[in-house]
């Protein structure tokens, strides 16, 4: 199955989750990440600002801030360029992609980020993912040396062949849904 069909199928499945299912998954994801040794040692963590069908990262952001960690979130520019900037809930704007992102241009060097929580739609057994098609994370992760983790629902595991430019996530943690 080609990537566009996998994306469409996963988006439909994610959008079909109830509010309650998404909340349970989101709380679980926060707990799983916060229990990791890489998180506990980290001073700076990166996560994404979730869309309504994704795992809700607001739980992780709140916990990381409470734990005294710097939280950084992605900001996308043209030509596939993505950077991470400090998270400030009062300094966000809706991007042309329909995603909230920071207004700030204060770029945090990748070497300062200890762990990146990576979004996507489907992951294979080797940790390669199908995202939304822009290649932003694959380009960013190409030279990133820190820890990467994704928190997915069981139905997001999907067998597909990665392409040469794809970058694997180091740890994919899977939430078992009830259906």
Q: Is 133 annotated as a binding residue?
A: yes
Q: Is 175 annotated as a binding residue?
A: no
Q: Is 54 annotated as a binding residue?
A: yes
Q: Is 81 annotated as a binding residue?
A: no
Q: Is 136 annotated as a binding residue?
A: yes
Q: Is 5 annotated as a binding residue?
A: yes
Q: Is 3 annotated as a binding residue?
A: yes
Q: Is 131 annotated as a binding residue?
A: yes
Q: Is 101 annotated as a binding residue?
A: no
Q: Is 16 annotated as a binding residue?
A: no
Q: Is 134 annotated as a binding residue?
A: yes
DSSP secondary structure letters along the chain:
--HHHHHHHHHHHHHTS-HHHHHHHHHHHHHHHHHSHHHHH-SEEE-----TTS--THHHHHHHHHTT-EEEEEEE-STT-EEEEE--TTSEEE-TTS-EEES---PPPGGG--EEE---SEE-TTS-EE-SSS-HHHHHHTT--SEEEEEEEGGGB---PPPTT----SEEEEE----
Q: Is 41 annotated as a binding residue?
A: no
Q: Is 113 annotated as a binding residue?
A: no
Q: Is 7 annotated as a binding residue?
A: yes
Annotated binding residues for substrate: 49, 54
Annotated binding residues for ATP: 3-7, 129-137
Annotated binding residues: 3-7, 49, 54, 129-137
């Amino acid at each position: 199955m080609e990537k566009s069909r996998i994306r469409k199928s996963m988006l439909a499945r994610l959008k079909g989750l109830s509010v309650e299912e998404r909340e349970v998954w989101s709380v679980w994801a926060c707990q799983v990440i916060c229990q990791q040794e890489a998180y506990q040692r980290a001073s700076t963590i990166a996560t994404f600002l979730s869309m309504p069908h994704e795992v809700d990262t607001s739980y992780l952001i709140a916990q990381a801030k409470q734990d005294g960690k710097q939280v950084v979130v992605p900001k996308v520019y043209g030509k596939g360029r993505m950077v991470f900037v400090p998270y400030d809930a009062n300094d966000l704007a809706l991007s042309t992609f329909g995603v909230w992102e920071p207004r700030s241009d204060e770029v945090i060097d990748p070497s300062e980020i200890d762990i990146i929580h990576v979004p996507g739609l489907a992951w294979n057994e080797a940790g390669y993912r199908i995202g939304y098609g822009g290649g932003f994370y694959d380009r960013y992760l190409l030279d990133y040396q820190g820890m990467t983790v994704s928190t997915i629902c069981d139905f997001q595991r999907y067998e597909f062949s990665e392409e040469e430019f794809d970058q694997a996530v180091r740890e994919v943690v899977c939430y078992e849904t009830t259906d």
